[in-house]
Amino acid sequence: MKEVLRVVDLKKSYHKNEVLKGVSFSVDEGETKVIIGPSGGGKSTLLYCINMLQRPDSGEVYLDGEEITKGKVRVNEARQKIGFVFQHFNLFLHLNALDNVRVGPLKVRKMSLDEATQTAVAALKLVGISEDLWSHYPAQLSGGQQQRIAIARAIAMNPRIILFDEPTSALDVELIGEVLKAMKDLAYGGMTMLVVTHELEFAMEVANEIMFLENGVIIEKGPPREVIMNPKSERIKRFLGRIHKEES
């Protein structure tokens, strides 16, 4: 399999607090990798460093074999190929659903209006947003609808990989399912994905590998069944126990 993303010894500190202490891994084409771990463990920071919304202090990120952490690289061009789905959706509040998805293809990819519209419509359909919602504005939509539109916004850029930063954490319980379904469809459709989440069932079902990130290092990684059912480290056992308790 072709390697899409490679992260090498990534480090990041805020003031004197070292959040990432040298993280390395790679994601191959079509793979879904899931990162779990306690909050404050560096999961979000890791994603933000991969698409340079935060500058890593050291280490390298390669996209399709090309280093994007080098100073001279055009960050904007690299970001076009890296989709990002945020915990709080971050839809553009002044644009309706269709325009939220269309603005990237139109303004960044410089597509014609027709082409951008087709791309956006296809992406919206993929995440199950029906036509009657396309003219709705974010403030008129449920969290689940907003997050699915945010996923469509990422898809419409035709990225090499999509990063998900706890995409269901800000949602009411009854809305989580529709977002996870959209993500599963995406994964089964062959999209390369890196997902930070606490949704273990989702991880069990679609992840090729689970990584457990705590205190800025990957403590354990492996196939979901092994990591979740049969973790080697005590810390993961405790963490998983806490999650199960929260769920029940």
Partner 1 sequence: MEKFLGIFNRFGSLLLSGLGYTMFITIVAIVIGFFLGFLLAVLKIYGRGVLKWLAIAYIELIRGTPMIVQLFIIYYGLSQTGLVRLTPLQAAIIGMGLNSAAYQAEYFRSAFLAIPTGQSEAALSLGMSRAQLILNILLPQLLRIVLPSWTNELVALIQYSSIAMVVTIMELTAVAKYIGSKTFLYMQSFIIVGIIYLALSFIFTRLMVYFEHRLSIPGISVTKARV
Binding site for partner 1 (CB under 8 A): 51, 53, 76-84, 86, 88-94, 96, 103-104, 107-108, 136-140, 150, 153, 157
Closer to partner 1 by Cβ: residue 32 or 51: 51
Q: Rounded to the nearest whole angstrom, what is the least distance from the CB of residue 192 to partner 1 in the complex?
A: 16
DSSP-derived 3-state class of residue 127: coil
Q: Rounded to the nearest whole angstrom, what is the least distance from the CB of residue 136 to partner 1 in the complex?
A: 8
Q: Which amino acid is at 177?
A: G
Closer to partner 1 by Cβ: residue 35 or 218: 35
Please say whether the beta carbons of 169 and 89 come within 8 A. Answer: no
Rounded CA separation 97/120 (Å) = 10
Rounded CA separation 60/76 (Å) = 17
Closer to partner 1 by Cβ: residue 21 or 88: 88
Closer to partner 1 by Cβ: residue 139 or 173: 139
Q: Rounded to the nearest whole angstrom, what is the least distance from the CB of residue 92 to partner 1 in the complex?
A: 6
Residues 6+ apart with CB under 8 A from 98: 117, 120, 121, 124, 134, 135
Closer to partner 1 by Cβ: residue 150 or 207: 150
Q: Rounded to the nearest whole angstrom, what is the least distance from the CB of residue 73 to partner 1 in the complex?
A: 13
Q: How many CB atoms lie within 10 A of CB 125?
A: 12
Q: Rounded to the nearest whole angstrom, what is the least distance from the CB of residue 51 to partner 1 in the complex?
A: 6
In this structure, what token pair is assigned to residue 107? 């303004």
